[in-house]
Amino acid sequence: MNRAKVAASDHRNSHHWSLATTENTSRHASTSERVPGRPVASADHGAAIDSFSVKILVTGGAGFIGSNFVRRTLEDAYPGLEGAEVVVYDALTYSGNPANLASVAGSSRFTFVQADIRDAGALDDVLPGIDAVVHFAAESHVDRSVRDSGIFVETNVLGTQRLLDASLRAGIERFVHVSTDEVYGSIAEGSWDETRALEPNSPYSASKAGSDLLARSYFRTHGMNLSITRCSNNYGPYHFPEKVIPLFVTNLIDGLHVPLYGTGENIRDWLHVDDHTRGIAMVLTRGRAGETYNIGGGTELTNRELTEKLLDATGRDWSYVDKVDDRKGHDLRYSVDIGKIQSELGYAPLVPFDRGLADVVQWYRDNRSWWEPLKARAAL
């Protein structure tokens, strides 16, 4: 594999990242306690950070959710991360897109590195001088994992292991592993809290569960200052048009049919990407080491109900919907209990679904030049 291609400013300038005491932090360490190649925080420490001049490596930062986190961080949208520098580390697979970062590419606080998380040498080149890692990079589309699971294991499991190892070697002080509620499986009633056993049903969610367990082991074994987030289904701008909302919106805008799996009774909890990344920033700055935090949006809809809303928003009717064979192993319902992140970190979803969806439909109407080439690329 190729070594990292580094663009924009040199990411190795030295900056401070210090662990600070907050209500959620029982102890703190200063950068002077840091031993090269060893993590600073140990098992039960709080993870709160002091924001000035921190340098954050964002894997998968050219994707849908990672790029939102990067844009919002560089807009200083997150308390505790004002002034942070961001290094995006992304292999630019089919779903990675530099256009997602166009609005911040000129920032002196932004650096882009094109490299693969499976490439230990490239990671060793880039990680020195980084204070925190937020790990989004993954193969993320369930349908693709049903067709071919190999790359999911390579990227999501092996890639995460390489990244964790390299972070350990570099003495990274804070690590957030971004995961999914799909690791819990499917739940007919009630909601999962973070202590639920993992029962993933698709190769995608199984590979994410594997990466979650590896991440947890680096906290338990090596004392890495690491937290895990598990979110529900995201929607928002810059969403690759193979996922249900952007696929349906872009097809319906163009008067094309949309495929609805099975009876359409599967239920998903929808989370605006702005709410998701705000929750991640809270976990990064104030979450406890070794802990997992669910992040949800609080809007459960069947796929039929979602389709109805999208038909309404685009002025189409049910004649545009083709019933297709159900996805193999299709999970019936996901539902996360977000009580922990609410009570510990004060998180609540802020974007009402109907407003968020209307904005997204408008965004796709206004940004055809962004999504048209992607639909061709995904061979939809």
By annotation, the residues acting in catalysis are: 181-182, 204
* Binding residue for ligand NAD, selected from 50, 116, 173, 212, defined by CB under 6 A: 116
**Cβ count near 333 (within 10 Å):** 17
Which segments within 9-120 are labelled E, that is strand?
18-19, 49-50, 55-59, 85-90, 110-114
Build a one-symbol-per-residue string for 150-189: x at contacts with ligand NAD by CB under 6 A, - elsewhere.
Answer: -----x---x------------------x-x---------
* Element housing 362 (H / E): helix 353-366
DSSP string, 169-196: HHT-SEEEEEEEGGGG---SSS-B-TTS
d(CA 187, CA 333): 5
Rg from Cα positions in the chain: 20
* Binding residue for ligand NAD, selected from 28, 45, 71, 118, defined by CB under 6 A: 118
Q: How far is the CB of 235 from ligand NAD (least distance, A)?
A: 7
DSSP-derived letter for residue 288 is B
Which residue's entry shows tokens 């061979």? 379
- Tell me the window of 1-9, 41-49, 59-67, 361-369 that interacts with ligand NAD (CB under 6 A): 59-67
For position 31 contacting ligand NAD by CB under 6 A, the verdict is: no
Closest to 167 measured CA to CA, from 120, 97, 109, 220: 120
For position 117 contacting ligand NAD by CB under 6 A, the verdict is: yes
* Binding residue for ligand NAD, selected from 17, 136, 218, 371, defined by CB under 6 A: 136
For position 95 contacting ligand NAD by CB under 6 A, the verdict is: yes
Q: How far is the CB of 314 from ligand NAD (least distance, A)?
A: 21
Q: Which is nearer to ligand NAD, 60 or 290 (CB)?
A: 60
Asked if residue 91 lies in contact with residue 117, where contact means CB atoms within 8 angstroms, the answer is yes
For 69, phi then psi, to 5°, come to -60, -40
- Tell me the window of 24-32, 56-64, 168-176, 246-254 that interacts with ligand NAD (CB under 6 A): 56-64
Site for ligand NAD, residues 197 to 256, rule: CB under 6 A:
208, 231, 233-234, 240
Q: What residue ranges bind ligand NAD (CB under 6 A)?
A: 59-60, 62-66, 90-93, 95-96, 116-118, 136-138, 140, 155, 159, 178, 180, 208, 231, 233-234, 240
